Amino acid sequence: MPLRSARRSKVSTTGAPGAVQIWVGARSQQLWRGPLGLVLVGLGLCGGLLLLGLSFRLGLRLMLDPEALPQALARLQRSQSVALPAAIGLEELRQQATASQQQVGEPLRLEILGTQGREVLIVPVLKAGAIASLHLFGSEGSGEERLRAIATLPVTALPKDTVLTPWLSSPQAPTAAPTNFKLTRLVPLPAPPIATDGLWLTLEGSWQQQGLTLRYGQLLHVDPQAQRLELLAPWSSPVNRPPQWADLDGDGPSDLVIDETVGLEPALRGFQVTPGPRLQSVSWVRVPVDAGAHAGHYQQALRLARGGLWHPAQTQLANLKPALGQGWNPAAEAQLRLMARHGAISRQQAEQDWSTPSQHIMALLIDGQWEPALTRLETSPELLPTLLNRLAVDQGRLWNRISAAAALPDPPPAVYVWGGLALKAQQNQPSNRDGATLDWLNRQPVPVIARQRLAKVLATLTTAQTPSVASAKPGATAAIAPRQSPSAGAVGNTALPPLTALIGQARPISAPESGYAAPGQALDAALGQWYAIDLRAVHQNQVWQPGTGALPAQTTPAVWAMVQPAAQASPQLLRWISPTTGVSAPLIVRGLSLTNGTTTLLATGPAASASALPPLVFSQGALMWLDASQGETAEPGAIAAAIFGNPPLPVEAMADVAQHSLDLTDDGQIERVLTWDGAALMQLKNWRTQVETTFPKTIILDADNRLLYSDMFASQTVVALTNPAVGGSVGLLVYRAGGYELLSWQTAERQFK
């Protein structure tokens, strides 16, 4: 990236372990006065280039992998091995721990395979019941036990937003969860059936609330040969299950699966274990093979998986496997097998006996059995109010499944009936205003009989239930959406849909002197650094909208009721080290202010620090980033001609361009996303001097090399993409003119705007 500072300055981030620091500076005349100055400058430049290269590799995770940013930050936070003193006995270690008000836990003996009984010991040191550090020792013979110190590793608690990740798209998120979750025990994983390098364990903890036992932890790899301990991916399981070995990629059961299921919705997180070791998360966004002419069908299979239609997704991907032949790889096989595991769970749930009929219908819907579910409802119409209650608190998962099914070439008509019922529940409209519900159905290519079935089902709502839907009187029992307060804001008799995710721009402020404090919160300077958050885009009604969306114009509490789901769902504050690298930290939204109809959120977070771009606020899981290491090699000829015209640029001018293939327009066709970093732009500028080099650049082309988006000659840059798993089509989040703006795909104009 270009160095834009005229003086030596330090850009740092705080508030997270392993924060990145980058030094940039111009030449100082005094340093050149002697050989020592030359040495210092040389060392500084080398170190700076090394750190800049590392931060660029981590920071260029824009737009592709939903977990790219958390994984990058987790790698930053890994503690390096630190040499211990020479051989030390356990008793001496205990004495040292006691002096530090710590306790030595029970040593864990592990046998190294293939070493004829050679052992290593891992000794945890605890403070206040939580593991504070781990010590790796090698045994030095029998008799009075003496140990050879190998390595030590500091351990920190897991943040709340990391542990509660499985609830990102669930209305059943635990309440009163602690800010940090302590790791209290060290548990070896069973030896994988296929030998892997080193030993595998997990640091674990448990948390219980109202019948829920949440098991969480962080994977630990022990490499006695390299003499190191390494913390890898954090995990959590709402069903209280530890990580399990599995065969996802076809190379034997040496991969890991985490069960993140909440309620009836199956959710399995898969990791391929690759040398290093490295845990590669199985993605429902990235096409990991060169699919060629089949890329559109591959993307459609992934869209079905994101929508939870596991059986059609598995079928479509399985049909592509023979066609791709030698191009099929372990990453693609892992996607296929993880789809099959999800499908097996949903099918088992749909076929089991349920004591509650409404649960059986929900299980059928989750398995994609639209017609059997609708038939069951039609034969038992008294179940409708209960089902509408369930649909009213749905956070988009079922709607994503409906949308994915409706996009199939020949969807069953019952899909559209369930779509109308889901919209009816979400909009919480009185039964005499079904026009808005049926309007969605009228825009779909479905038989008339589907609309008739929907109208007939809705007609089963009794007259006694109808007033309760619209009633705003205290104590009224709503038949469709009784939980109105936490999920929607009321304007008159109509409840507007809640904001399920948000994107905003933060600016540091002093403690607000006025504004609305949310229930249980206060606008107090003692709470830390305050930020005002200007909303740039919100997710509402399953789509992204610019600004604040449809917010009520009456009372501040009504606005808060609508904003609350997104405001309290672990929002993140991202501070930019460079235009491509950021470090995130949790943010607490404590209230809001209304000025001339404009809503500004009031929040506290880590101390403000210098940032290459304004701090970005986003709901966890709302954005996705691209992994530069997974980029493809661009074809310079056709691309250069499409962008710059003829005569084409020399091949070397396009040497450093990274390319990714994605379906950004939701039409089943693959678009190419090309990115230029600072070095690539300087290479390009040698041939095209008018290229704007302030920020990294992005260009998007369709399959016919037609230009869909370009910021090559404008003072703006793409910083992220919206995550299609949240719902709605993919949008481009760009930074320009001092602020962030979300661009959406306009089909008629064939451009992002």
Per-residue pLDDT reduced to its tens digit, 611-623: 889 999 998 888 8
Q: How many CB atoms lie within 10 A of CB 550?
A: 14
**Is the per-residue pLDDT at 734 higher than 70?**
yes
Whole-number pLDDT of residue 220: 95
Tokens for 118, please give them. Answer: 């050679």
Q: pLDDT digit string (tens) for 176-201?
A: 788 899 999 999 988 777 766 788 99
Whole-number pLDDT of residue 621: 80
Helical ranges in 515-631 per DSSP H: 556-567
Q: What's the CA gap between 394 and 263, in Å, rounded?
A: 12
Once rounded to an integer, what is the mean pLDDT over residues 306-317? 94
Q: Which are the contacts of 377, defined by CB distance < 8 A and separation ≥ 6? A: 361, 383, 384, 387, 457
Whole-number pLDDT of residue 68: 45
**Buried b or exposed e, range 66-95, using 16+ CB within 10 angstroms:** bbbbbbbbbebeebebeebeeebebeebee
Q: Check: CB of residue 617 under 8 Å from CB of residue 504.
A: yes
When pLDDT is cut at 50, 70 and 90, the band that residue 464 belongs to is very low
Q: What percent of the chain has pLDDT over 90?
A: 29
What is 230-280 written as a DSSP string?
EEEEEEEETT----EEE-SSSS-S-EEEEE--BTTB--EEEEEEETTTEEE
Distances (CA, A) of 46 to 25, 42, 52: 13, 6, 10
State which of 86-100, 186-200, 490-504 shows the largest mean pLDDT: 186-200
Least confident stretch, 33-37, 98-102, 197-201, 388-392: 33-37
Q: Any idea which residue has 């009187």 for tokens?
A: 473
Once rounded to an integer, what is the mean pLDDT over residues 68-73? 42
Once rounded to an integer, what is the mean pLDDT over residues 217-246? 91
Q: pLDDT digit string (tens) for 531-588?
A: 999 999 998 877 888 877 666 666 788 888 888 888 877 788 999 888 778 888 888 9
Once rounded to an integer, what is the mean pLDDT over residues 104-130? 80
| More reliable by pLDDT, 32 or 634 | 634
Q: What is the phi/psi pair of residue 654, to 5°? A: -110, 15
Q: What's the CA gap between 102 and 671, in Å, rounded?
A: 56
**Is the per-residue pLDDT at 40 higher than 80?**
no
Q: pLDDT digit string (tens) for 693-702?
A: 778 888 898 8
**Is the per-residue pLDDT at 65 higher than 50?**
no
Once rounded to an integer, what is the mean pLDDT over residues 488-514? 74
| More reliable by pLDDT, 484 or 219 | 219
CA atoms 639, 328, 268, 666: torsion sign: positive
Using a cut of 0.75, tell me whether the model's pTM lies above it: no
Whole-number pLDDT of residue 636: 58
